[in-house]
């Protein structure tokens, strides 16, 4: 593989995820890798000594193996392809591992996080999560598992919003269910994301107020806090 060859579209969701990673890791697991673009890009850029690609789809994993053999010869790169369910993965007892789970819904993402953590309760590993919708419940799962925040971003790609949540048990910052440092309120794109998120939970609260109204209120509180801080900063200027 040529170092200059670009695997990820600039400013795409996957390229944002790659840019957030604080490398190097000994092992990066590209979970639910599909065509493996993210993992290949990390392998190409030397983000990890080894990249392990995992997905359940046999035909996709066969073509991915063919591509890796050709573009990332095993005398130069370390990689493995595992055709398996993430829920069967037992996290090995090793230092410096990152598991990336991106492009699946919140229910599956939550199941995968819980399963990885249950497989090795005494092994520390970092997670980079970017689920499709439902980041609130994913964040609650991460908080319950004892994760803390390394970095987070709101990503808009092809008019769809995502939250990238990068966590470690040894990170300095508290992980917040509504997100914290990722919000840049003057950015209209972030305001749009806030409105869509609150609108989504308001809609759900119409059928199940007990479950979803508290979530609406969490986001409203967050907005009030952000606007309050922005007002204080403006007054100080
Ligand atoms: C939309 S792709 C995401 C690809 C890439 N991670 C991304 O973010 O663009 C979702 C992938 O998750 C895989 N997948 C779904 N459930 C899985 C499971 N239980 N174990 C492993 N892979 C799974 C699917 O086969 C599919 O390739």
d(CA 212, CA 192): 20
Considering only CA atoms, which of 136, 138, 88 is closest in space to residue 116?
88
Distance 85 CA to ligand 1 centre (A): 9
Instruction: Answer for the pair 26, 97: CB distance below 8 angstroms, yes or no.
Output: yes
Task: Provide the residue-wise pLDDT of the chain in tens; the chain has 237 residues.
Answer: 655 467 899 999 999 999 999 989 999 999 999 999 999 999 999 999 999 999 999 999 999 999 999 999 999 999 999 999 999 999 999 999 999 999 999 999 999 999 999 999 999 999 999 999 889 999 999 999 999 999 999 999 999 999 999 999 999 999 999 999 999 989 999 999 999 999 999 999 999 999 999 999 999 999 998 888 766 656 666
Contact 40, 68 (CB under 8 A): yes
Q: Compute the distance from residue 101 Cα to the ligand 1 centre, in Å.
A: 8
Nearest CA to ligand 1 atom 3: 103
- List, in order of start, the domains of the chain with CATH numbers: 13-182 (3.40.50.150), 189-236 (no CATH)
pLDDT at 213: 97
What is the residue with the minimal CA distance to atom 13 of ligand 1? 32
Instruction: Tell me how far apart the alpha carbons of residues 191 and 188 are, in angstroms, rounded to a whole number.
Output: 5
pTM, to two decimals = 0.95
What spacing in Å lies between the alpha carbon of 125 and ligand 1's midpoint? 20
């Amino acid at each position: 593989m040529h170092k200059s060859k670009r695997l990820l579209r600039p400013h795409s969701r996957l390229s944002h995820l790659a840019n957030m990673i604080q490398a190097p890791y000994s092992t990066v697991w590209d979970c639910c890798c599909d065509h493996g673009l993210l993992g290949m890009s990390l392998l190409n850029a030397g983000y990890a000594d080894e990249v392990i690609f995992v997905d359940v789809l046999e035909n996709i994993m066969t073509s991915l193996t063919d591509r890796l053999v050709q573009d990332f010869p095993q005398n130069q790169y370390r990689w493995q392809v595992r055709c398996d369910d993430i829920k069967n993965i037992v996290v090995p007892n090793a230092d410096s591992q990152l598991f990336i789970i991106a492009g699946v819904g919140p229910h599956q993402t939550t199941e995968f996080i819980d399963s990885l953590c249950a497989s090795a309760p005494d092994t520390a590993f970092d997670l980079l999560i970017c689920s499709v919708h439902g980041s609130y419940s994913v964040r609650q799962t991460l908080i319950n598992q004892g994760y803390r925040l390394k970095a987070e971003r709101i990503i808009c790609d092809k008019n769809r919003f995502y939250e990238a949540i990068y966590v470690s048990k040894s990170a300095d910052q508290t992980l917040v269910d509504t997100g914290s440092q990722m919000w840049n309120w003057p950015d209209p794109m972030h305001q749009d994301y806030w409105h869509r998120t609150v609108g989504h939970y308001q809609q759900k609260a119409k059928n199940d107020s007990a479950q979803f109204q508290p979530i609406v209120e969490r986001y409203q509180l967050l907005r009030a806090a952000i606007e309050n801080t922005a007002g204080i900063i403006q007054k100080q200027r």
